[in-house]
Structure 1
Amino acid sequence: MGNCFRTISPKIQNSQGTANNTTYGSSKSNNKSGFSSQPPSTVTSSSNPSSFTLPSSSNGSSLPVHLTEGEILSSSNVAVFAFSELKNATRNFRPDSLLGEGGFGYVYKGWIDEQTLLTSKPGYGIAVAIKKLKPESFQGQKEWLAEVRYLGQLHHPNLVRLIGYCSDGDNRLLVYEFMLKGSLENHLFRRSSQILSWSLRLKIAIGAAKGLEFLHDSKVIYRDLKASNILLDGEYEAKLSDFGLAKDGPTGDRTHISTNVMGTQGYAAPEYIATGRLTAKADVYSYGVLLLELITGRRAMDRSKVGIEQNLVEWAKPLLGNKRKIFRIIDIRFEGKYPKKGAFEFANLTLQCINSQPNLRPQMSEVLAKLEHILQV
């Protein structure tokens, strides 16, 4: 089993507190490679060890340090599980335990003891979501390690909690808290879902903003903000998930980092697509697209629409700042049950976030302050 024998760090025990039986989201569509120019290839970590940079601390004071895969795994503040334990937790990865499938792996529901983290029978202990990587995916291996790297170091109420991981031969797995309400994408766009009220959408927007503000304060750029990566607990508290594309932000005198363009079509900032230059303001743009989805109930990209309406930003942007026309894009499922002044202020904030000039977009701290003001309207 190599290094798969389970260890429990003190931080895991303390951070568990009340586990709330929350859940990692299910049925996620993982369309992240739409902008990638790199074809996938197959390697194993043992033959090609990866090297990453440790993220800065939450106050941004520590300098990044290059670490190998082994160093990242050993420095993470999460539990290490044996593969056999996770097989037991999911009843040998039975099909009826499957929550969903992403681009690089499958997500199963499992059960563990809250205190010891040992396998439990279904219905006992706490529910967890276990992501099992497809062994042939090179990009998946990179993203798996990035998840351990960031979520193993960064802890916040609005980031999904990584409980532990397993690395055994070709087996790569991650164990997360189980987010009871699943993804925001399912609630916004699936017809069978209960309609999210204005107040719930505002609560979700605020939770996501808090998580993103924390990442930016920690000098981390998320790079994959979208509705399917916003997971909801039983109280509709939003948590950011899936850190496979996260990057360390610029430090010192640097204004940006240059990287291969990756993300999800419709959410990626125009300047990032055009140049590959990445800043935290690219996340702010993606967040603005998310706000637009929340207020309209429409997807960022929808091929079922005709003409300009396929692209949500292009369709809605000319109407956002117009009090007489804004009602044309507001989700009709609200049935008029929303504060008109609050909705207009929400639309104006959205317009600021999706400004084509990144330097004119607000900081996430400003976005959060504005949303909390709108909450009182």
Structure 2
Amino acid sequence: MGCCPSSFLTETHPEKQQNQQPPHHVHTHNHNHTQLHPPPSLTADLSATGGVPSFSEFSFSDLKAATNNFSSDFIVSESGEKAPNLVYKGRLPNRRWIAVKKFTKAAWPDPKQFVDEASGVGKLRHRRLANLIGYCCDGDERLLVAEYMPNDTLAKHLFHWENQTIEWAMRLRVAFSIAETLNYCSSEGRPLYHDLNAYRVLFDEEGDPRLSCFGLMKNSRDGKSYSTNLAYTPPEYLKNGRVTPESVIYSFGTVLLDLLSGKHIPPSHALDMIQGKANMLLMDSHLEGKFSKEEAAVVVNLASKCLQYEPRERPDTKELVTTLAPLQTKPEVPSYVMLGIPKHEEAPSTPQRPLSAMGEACSRTDLTAIHQILVATHYRDDEGTNELSFQEWTQQMRDMLEARKRGDYAFRDKDFKTAIENYSQFIDVGTMVSPTVFARRSLCYLLCDQPDPALRDAMQAQCVYPDWPTAFYMQSVALAKLDMQKDAADMLNEATALEEKRQRGGRGA
């Protein structure tokens, strides 16, 4: 979809970008249609921590809608066979971007255990944590919902950079930020972080480093906590398979090695270099000598302590913070400057293309004009969204179609409350799904001064038909009625772009 940026929160090693396009139509065959009910946190309830929503439960249908029905296009990382789960990007009705981690059905068989674990992580709030904002425990489904981080991972910037490598002061900032976050989590009774590595460190809109909250939960109730190469795994974990606070310190040491060298060096090899006083050979040649040798010596020494074989000989999180704090020498320089990425800019609020009749009506929030267009369009765009078997032409089916017909008469005659009642009867049966019915009911809600359900219906229309301009147009109007003008303008742009693409493809508007 055009509404999604190309980069998103990536959580584990193999990054997977699939190019398969979402289908134009979702075929439904005798499936119950689940409606979207956003949790309270979607519209309000922002905590004091920089506008982060408080932790809440999401229904599976919420997250299906946000991720375009878990489209393969929305997958942003796959963690492979050792920890089979996926991370998707998604967008909520209030336009907030999210990252959704979807576990396998067998990962957390006990729902209470999953909810308890997620709730514990959900209590944490820190400016350097990509915070957990919700979970879904719906039937067999187990999902986590976190803040969205748009500027890739430390691994990408450190190992796969295209424009410039990370400068020394920024590497020190990253190290200090991770240390601060681990210290905070430890002080809040969550000292265990599973498989800390450069893929778990993310960059937010301003380029500031954040630690993924997903590492604060295991990949399953009994699953392995490390998916990395054994050479980077804490030695005690290889013995007993248990993560301890000291194991997290060991993993922090491996991230310090990454920051020093710009490469993923096995700890044993790095320690040999350090003990052989070959510290400078450890340093990333791409820095071209632009770093303080004194500061580098401090970081090398700290990495060496973290990587000690005996867990009790490693420092605690407080020592990490106190060691790295004095090395923060450029606090006034924004992270995005140091990373060499563009400053986060608000998208333009005016449409960039000439508008169609529907676009014009939506830009003016002219509900009367939109009504005339939807009446004229009728059900032209519903072709192909349903495949019905002979057995489904039952009395129930006839009753459902009759309800839709009554809704259409009421809609045409501008009896919008009656139209809502009849369209709701049609939708609630669930044998057929109709994007046009959702769009019409959305407009009815708007004309009855109910923008929240109007927005939900417009999103449901998009779920059924992901590339349908009308679904985006109706979301734009609902957002405008909710006084979310910038989001309304963004959505209007997306609708216009889809309509143009459609016309170029030879289809009717």
TM-score (norm 2): 0.50
Q: Aligned partners of 1:273 and 1:127: how far apart in 2?
A: 38
Matched, 1:269 2:234: yes
> Higher Cα Rg: structure 1 or 2?
2
Which amino acid letter does the alignment assign opposite residue 209 of structure 2? E
Q: Is the Cα–Cα contact under 8 Å of residues 222 and 246 in structure 1 kept in the other structure? A: no
Q: 1:134 Cα deviation (Å)?
A: 3.0
Matched, 1:375 2:347: no
Q: Is the Cα–Cα contact under 8 Å of residues 355 and 361 in structure 1 kept in the other structure? A: yes
Matched, 1:91 2:106: no
Cα–Cα, structure 1 residues 199 and 376, in superposed 2: closer, same or farther, change >3 Å? closer
Which one of 68, 78, 84 corresponds to residue 101 of structure 1?
Answer: 78
Cα–Cα, structure 1 residues 365 and 177, in superposed 2: closer, same or farther, change >3 Å? same
Matched, 1:167 2:137: yes
Partner of 1:239: 211
Please give the residue correspondences for 1:132-147 in structure 2 after superposition, counting only pairs within 5 Å: 132-137=102-107, 145=115
Which one of 146, 149, 154 corresponds to residue 176 of structure 1?
Answer: 146
**What do you get for the CA RMSD once the two structures are aligned?**
3.3
Which amino acid letter does the alignment assign opposite residue 91 of structure 2? W
Cα–Cα, structure 1 residues 140 and 178, in superposed 2: closer, same or farther, change >3 Å? farther
Q: Is the Cα–Cα contact under 8 Å of residues 85 and 101 in structure 2 kept in the other structure? A: yes
Q: Report the 3-state secondary structure (helix = DSSP H, G, I; strand = E; otherwise coil) of the residue aligned with 2:135.
A: strand
Q: Is the Cα–Cα contact under 8 Å of residues 56 and 134 in structure 2 kept in the other structure? A: yes
Q: Is the Cα–Cα contact under 8 Å of residues 143 and 245 in structure 1 kept in the other structure? A: no
Matched, 1:290 2:262: no
Q: Report the 3-state secondary structure (helix = DSSP H, G, I; strand = E; otherwise coil) of the residue aligned with 2:125.
A: coil
Q: 1:180 Cα deviation (Å)?
A: 1.6
Q: Deviations over 1:140-170 (max 9, x none)?
A: 9899657513322222222221122222222
Matched, 1:329 2:273: no
Q: Is the Cα–Cα contact under 8 Å of residues 97 and 147 in structure 2 kept in the other structure? A: yes
Which one of 287, 291, 309 corresponds to residue 356 of structure 1?
Answer: 309
Structure with higher strand content: 1
Cα–Cα, structure 1 residues 162 and 319, in superposed 2: closer, same or farther, change >3 Å? same
Please give the residue correspondences for 1:1-377 in structure 2 after superposition, counting only pairs within 5 Å: 6-8=38-40, 13-15=46-48, 17-18=50-51, 78-102=55-79, 103-112=83-92, 119=93, 125-137=95-107, 145=115, 148-192=118-162, 194-220=164-190, 221-234=192-205, 235-242=207-214, 243-245=216-218, 262-263=225-226, 264=228, 265-276=230-241, 278-300=243-265, 312-320=266-274, 325-376=278-329
Count of paired positions: 287
Q: Report the 3-state secondary structure (helix = DSSP H, G, I; strand = E; otherwise coil) of the residue aligned with 1:274.
A: helix
Q: 1:101 Cα deviation (Å)?
A: 2.0
Q: Report the 3-state secondary structure (helix = DSSP H, G, I; strand = E; otherwise coil) of the residue aligned with 2:296.
A: helix
Determine what percentage of the aligned residue pairs are the same residue.
Answer: 31
Q: Deviations over 1:70-105 (max 9, x none)?
A: xxxxxxx61222222222222222233222223332
Cα–Cα, structure 1 residues 320 and 128, in superposed 2: closer, same or farther, change >3 Å? same
Structure with higher helix content: 2
Cα–Cα, structure 1 residues 232 and 142, in superposed 2: closer, same or farther, change >3 Å? farther
Q: Is the Cα–Cα contact under 8 Å of residues 229 and 240 in structure 1 kept in the other structure? A: yes
Q: Report the 3-state secondary structure (helix = DSSP H, G, I; strand = E; otherwise coil) of the residue aligned with 2:137.
A: strand
Q: 1:183 Cα deviation (Å)?
A: 1.8
Q: Is the Cα–Cα contact under 8 Å of residues 261 and 272 in structure 1 kept in the other structure? A: no
TM-score (norm 1): 0.67
Q: Aligned partners of 1:277 and 1:101: how far apart in 2?
A: 24
Q: Aligned partners of 1:367 and 1:107: how far apart in 2?
A: 30
Q: Aligned partners of 1:269 and 1:11: how far apart in 2?
A: 42
Which amino acid letter does the alignment assign opposite residue 211 of structure 2? K
Q: Aligned partners of 2:133 and 2:168: how far apart in 1?
A: 32
Cα–Cα, structure 1 residues 192 and 169, in superposed 2: closer, same or farther, change >3 Å? same
Cα–Cα, structure 1 residues 156 and 19, in superposed 2: closer, same or farther, change >3 Å? closer
